[in-house]
Amino acid sequence: MKHRRVLRAAVTVAVTGALAAGMTMALTTSANAGTTLRASAAEKGRYFGAAVATGKLSTGAYTTILNREFNSVVAENEMKWDATEPQQGRFSYTGGDRLVSHAQANGMSVRGHALLWYQQEPGWAQNMSGSALRSAMINHVTQVATHFRGKIYAWDVVNEAFADGNSGGRRDSNLQRTGNDWIEAAFRAARVADPGAKLCYNDYNTDGINAKSTGIYNMVRDFKSRGVPIDCVGFQSHLGTSLAGDYQANLQRFADLGVDVQITELDVMTGGNQANIYGAVTRACMNVSRCTGITTWGVRDCDSWRGSDNALLFDCNGNKKAAYTSVLNALNAGPAIPTDPPTDPPTDPPTDPPTDPPTDPPTVGCAASVSLNSWNGGFVATVKVTAGSAGTSGWNVGFTLPSGASVTNTWSATASGSTGAVRFANVNYNGRLGAGQVTEFGFQGTGSASGVTPTCTAS
Ligand code: G3I
């Protein structure tokens, strides 16, 4: 049974590409085997994708790389609720349709992102609650999945519904307050609307075995045991300067529940370890036979929501970075998705987390610095926390935001407060730092955060 599912996954990828691109895809693949991300991934029965801002499809330099290197796309913003149903019952598919057309013309499969997410809700939905919101959200799932029926390889049906921190429970939101069964209701509606799409749950800070990933694991196990239609779990993998040692083991435990797994929004903090981490993530996926593909959250560094992190595989001029080579090598070295019954489990030992020793004399406590990526009306802040001479068992970073600024999204930390004096505490996997060790977290907000300075307290 497990074997048949694995085989179907491989065939689905191959057929999607072949249907969309016909002979061109087959010829391109064999001519470039091993020399582009898409060809190398396809040889192993997998896809390699990128998040796309459709406005950039008319930029030649961007589209040249996209078409050469990637055989899967996901809309960075255009298929979200605020984009597809800006007014209740009035649907807009311009950006999504454009991306699907581009994909079909270039032999790419499409991930759908995201039917329901507590962020990027249109204003009208933000103001709703209870049974009115429940029926509006199910209608949204039904309408959007029906519109794109037959064109989507996998949908992120629900995005980011679990809380950060140690609770392992659900995140509070107006969606959650409609009742704990909202996620399964969404999956059932999506299955009816597009029976051919794989239905995924997608989240971040799940890059290892931790409280949050275990909460999701328990939900998936429950869904599988009760026949709730879930096919895959997406691991966003917005990563800092180290990778959890149990990254692959975490993917594998989900796969063992009988779902596919995918790396859905990969980007990695720049620095000495970037190429190593990209390679380790790729190897982990290759070593898990139900890991069907990897998506990076953008194409070039300057396309990334992470701004000065330079978090992607191509620099702003479109040149391949060391991280690109690391990924390509890992794709080429990895095993294909098996079409025969699996034999022995992979024997590669997990990669050790990078352990650069500090060279500067360490400081006591901790230090924090921030880099901002701002636009008119919003910003993304990336915060670096450096442990002092005693190391940390936990840390807490405070900011005083200017009036009008408000935190809307946090990753790799737990926020208290959203305006004025706000604080960010470590999550369970990044609180313990050795002397001089560095970790990162980030947050996104509305308004302007220019001029803010962090203060760091260690425990
Ligand atoms: O470009 C417009 C600008 O013209 C306008 O003035 C301004 C006013 O708000 O908005 C700008 O758009 C911003 C857009 O990014 C383009 O940069 C939106 O405000 C901003 O909300 C949007 O952020 C997106 C974010 O999701 C929304 O929360 C990022 O592009 C997108 O990369 C990010 O993607 C998410 C995934 O969907 C889920 N996982 C985390 C990931 C990163 O946050």
Q: How many angstroms is it from 379 CA to the middle of ligand 1?
A: 9
Higher-confidence residue of 161 and 346: namely: 161
Minimal CA–CA distance to 282: which of 231, 242, 331? 331
pLDDT, tens digit, for every residue of 16-28? 333 333 323 333 3
Ligand 1 close to Cβ of residue 305 (< 6 A): yes
Comparing C-alpha atoms, which of 105, 199, 118, 83 is closest to residue 152? 199
Q: What is the pLDDT of residues 67-84, one digit of tens each?
A: 999 999 999 999 999 999
pLDDT of 409 reads: 72
Q: Describe the strand order of the beta sheet including 414-416 as a list of residue ranges.
A: 414-416, 421-425, 395-400, 455-458
Higher pLDDT, 346 or 314: 314
Q: 164: CA distance to ligand 1 center in Å?
A: 20
Residue 250: predicted pLDDT:
98
* DSSP structure class, residue 300: B
Give the pLDDT score at 220: 98
With bands split at pLDDT 50, 70 and 90, how would you rate the model's confidence at 353?
A: low
Which residue from 122, 190, 180 is spatially nearest to 152, judged by alpha carbons? 190
- DSSP element (H, E) containing 187: helix 182-193
Residue 351 confidence (pLDDT): 57
**Catalytic residue list contains 160:** yes
- Report the pLDDT value the prediction gives residue 219, as an integer from 0 to 100: 98
Tell me the whole-structure pTM to 2 decimals: 0.72
Q: Kindly report, residue by residue over 256-294, the tens digit of the pLDDT.
A: 999 999 999 999 999 879 999 999 999 999 999 999 999
77 lines ligand 1 (CB under 6 A): yes
Q: Active-site residue 265, yes or no?
A: yes
Query: What is the average pLDDT value for the chain, to the nearest integer?
Result: 88
Q: What is the pLDDT of residue 165?
A: 95
What residue's CA is closest to ligand 1, atom 5? 376
Q: List strand residue ranges (DSSP E) for 403-453, in order.
A: 406-411, 414-416, 421-425, 438-446
Please say if the pLDDT value at position 146 is more than 60: yes
Q: Which pLDDT belongs to residue 29?
A: 42
Q: Which of 373, 375, 407, 443 should be mutated for ligand 1, with most atoms under 8 A from CB? A: 375
Ligand 1, atom 17, lies closest to the CA of 305
pLDDT single digits (tens) 125-138 = 999 999 999 999 99
Whether the predicted pLDDT of 63 surpasses 80: yes
Question: 440 CB under 6 A from ligand 1?
Answer: no
- pLDDT exceeds 60 at position 12: no
Query: Cβ neighbours of residue 217 under 8 Å, at least 6 residues apart?
Result: 253, 254, 257
pLDDT at 230 exceeding the cut of 90:
yes
Q: Which of 76, 85, 160, 184 is catalytic?
A: 160
